[in-house]
Amino acid sequence: MSRAVIWSFLVVSLVLLSIPATSLADETVCLQCHAGLSGYLSAPVADWRTSVHAENGISCHDCHGGDPTDMAMAMSPDRGFIGAPEYEEVPDFCGRCHVGVAKEYKAGAHGKAIAEGGAQCVICHGNHAVKKASLDLINEEDCTRCHSYERAALIKLSLVETDTMIKEMEHDLDRLYRLGFAIDEMQGTLFNQRNIFHRTFHGVDVERVRKKTGEVQAELAKIKGQVTDIDKTLGQRKLWGSVVIGLFILAGVIFLLVRKAYEEEGG
């Protein structure tokens, strides 16, 4: 194969490899058409590209329905197109996939106040530029748009504590995983508790959140106990290991001294 062919192949591969996976979804007719429009019709395209949905291959039709392969039928109700939801329809819209969260939300204060303009999913998470949820979504500036910040601050406080615990635990389990320990069961429990924890907030009920985080923290404490036990075992192993290493080094030194004795004898 000639040099030029090799190099151009390499360059082309590099270019292709640098295109993020999401643009493979360029195949959808939705993106093809809307990207070329202007104003509020094309804004969602750029927003969506930065989202956690795009990272995970969730595209327009996954939420809005319609046919992503057929330009003519792309927005046809016959192909399941449901258009953009009204303000009060948003929780059900997102809740088609995020079932647990929607359930918690509707039972809580925000959900019950939706007819009066209470906050729904899009108000905090955005609609197209949705990022992975973080505690920063609860902040004074945003929450005080409608009411005072005290309750939100209390909820955030109890959430921060648990969030830190969860992150620490994920870190611990990863460390143990890298040492060859079977942490599947603990990881499953942690995953489950994290999900319960994330869902419960959406009921925006201070007492309920406190109670639930209390329960979650109790489960996390159990995992922490197991991790501590494993760490103790590791510490013991290291201790005995060090002793045996010392014995072998000592043996080596003594053998050398014996050798020296033989040398002095003329051997």
Partner 1 sequence: MTTNVSPPQRRKFLFTMLGGLGALIGAASAWPVFRFLSPIAAGGSGDKVVVARSDVALGKAHFFQYHGKPAVVLQPAPGEFVALSAVCTHLGCVVAWQEQAVEFQCPCHGGRFSPEGKVLGGPPPAPLETFVVELDGDQLKIG
Partner 2 sequence: MQPIKWLVDFIDVRLGIKEIYNKELRGYLLPRNVNVWYTLGAVLMALFTLQIITGILLLMFYVPESEKAFASVQHIVNNVPYGWLFRMLHAIGANVIVIALLLHMLSVLFMGSYKGRREFTWLTGFTILNLTLGLCLTGYLLPWSQLSFWATTVATDAAGAIPVVGNYLVEFLRGGPTVDNQTLGRFFALHVVGMPLVLLGLIGAHLFCVKRRGISSAPFGPEYKASEELPFFEHEVHPDGIPFFPNYFVKDAAVISFFIAFMLAIIFYAPGMFFPESAFQPADPFLTPPHIKPEWYFLWAYQTLKIFPSEIIGLGVQVAFMTFLALLPFIDRGPERRPAKRPFFVTCYVLGILLFVAISIWGHYS
Residues binding partner 2 (CB under 8 A): 1, 3, 6, 177-182, 237-238, 241-242, 244-245, 248-249, 251-253, 255-256, 258-259, 262-263, 267
Instruction: Please state the closest distance from residue 187 (CB atom) to partner 2, in A.
Output: 12
Instruction: Please state the closest distance from residue 206 (CB atom) to partner 1, in A.
Output: 22
Q: Which is nearer to partner 1, 7 or 262 (CB)?
A: 262
Residues at the contact surface with partner 1, assessed by CB under 8 A = 95-101, 103, 184-185, 188, 191-192, 195, 199, 240, 243-244, 247-248, 250-251, 254-255, 257-258, 261-262, 264-265
Q: Which is nearer to partner 2, 81 or 181 (CB)?
A: 181
Q: Which is nearer to partner 2, 97 or 256 (CB)?
A: 256
Q: Which is nearer to partner 2, 160 or 261 (CB)?
A: 261
Instruction: Please state the closest distance from residue 72 (CB atom) to partner 1, in A.
Output: 27
Instruction: Please state the closest distance from residue 255 (CB atom) to partner 1, in A.
Output: 7
Instruction: Please state the closest distance from residue 178 (CB atom) to partner 2, in A.
Output: 6
Q: Which is nearer to partner 2, 80 or 241 (CB)?
A: 241
40 binds, among partner 1, partner 2, none (CB under 5 to 8 A by kind): none
Q: Which is nearer to partner 1, 142 or 170 (CB)?
A: 170
199 binds, among partner 2, partner 1, none (CB under 5 to 8 A by kind): partner 1
Per-position DSSP letters for the chain, written without gaps between them: --HHHHHHHHHHHHHHHHS-GGGGGGGSHHHHHHTTS-GGGTHHHHHHHTSHHHHTT--HHHHH-S-TT-TTTTT-GGGT---SPPGGGHHHHHHTT-HHHHHHHHHSHHHHTGGGT---HHHHH-SSSPPPP-GGGS-HHHHTTTS-SHHHHHHHHHHHHHHHHHHHHHHHHHHHHTTT---HHHHHHHHHHHHHHHHHGGG--HHHHHHHHHHHHHHHHHHHHHHHHHHHHHHHHHHHHHHHHHHHHHHHHHHHHHHHHHHHTT-
Q: Rounded CA gap, 103 and 95, in Å?
A: 8
The HSE-up count of residue 164 (CA atoms within 13 Å, CB side) is 5
